[in-house]
Amino acid sequence: LDIPRERYHIHCDGALFAMMMPFVDWAPEVSFRKPIDSIAVSGHKMLGCPMPCGIALTRKEHVKKVEQRIDYLNSVDTTIMGSRNGQAALYLWYSLRKKGIAGIKRDVVHCMETAQYLRDKITEAGLTCRLNDLSSTVVLERPMDDKVIKRWQLACEEDIAHVVVMPNVTKPKIDKFVEELVECKNTFGRMQPKREDSPLKKLECSSWGGLAVA
């Protein structure tokens, strides 16, 4: 595009998976050795902090653009809003100390393996679902019964739903969930694509993991 480097900013929105990628053997490395300017990672997802929070990392030259000298604090403030939740930082520290590297890796391995188990069980049940190789989020055709959606608190978009597999999700819980999906399918039928370019239709793309069940 012939745009000068100083005219654009590359931000990596790590969200949930930025805390998981370092513990997935086949995941690419995301670091400042690459030409990125900043990265954000959530603290209330994999680490389980009780309030929404996260960490943003950026290069020093960008920090210089927002820092301000605060006389009454006798220090330099580098936050965007001039303040931040100290309790969130304490929870992050506690979670990291309690879990440790081994504990976080154990949680990540559990999430990845359990997500694959969920994908396989849904596929075996004759329903379309997909799972990206670098994700613990299983995308599936939307159940026809809203009671199932509300009971399992499924996040839906048009004709699809998705399940984010976290450390608290177990195989027995998945078995019960799939059992209710099958009951829903037998009673109400299956969701059909709303249009040619609908989210469910896009699940047929071969770039996803898993199978598209016709």
Catalytic member of 42, 135, 136, 207: 135
Q: To which residue do tokens 């960490």 refer? A: 55
Q: What is the C-alpha separation between 94 and 149, in angstroms, rounded?
A: 34
Distance of alpha carbon 166 from alpha carbon 104, whole angstroms: 12
Give the C-alpha separation, 214 to 39, whole Å.
39
Calculate ∠ Cα 182-46-78, nearest 5°. 145
Six-digit token pair at 116? Answer: 């694959």
Handedness of CA 13, 20, 118, 184 (dihedral sign): negative
198 catalytic, yes or no?
no
Q: Can you tell me the distance from the alpha carbon of 9 to that of 139, in angstroms, rounded to the nearest whole number?
A: 31
Q: Which residues are catalytic?
A: 135
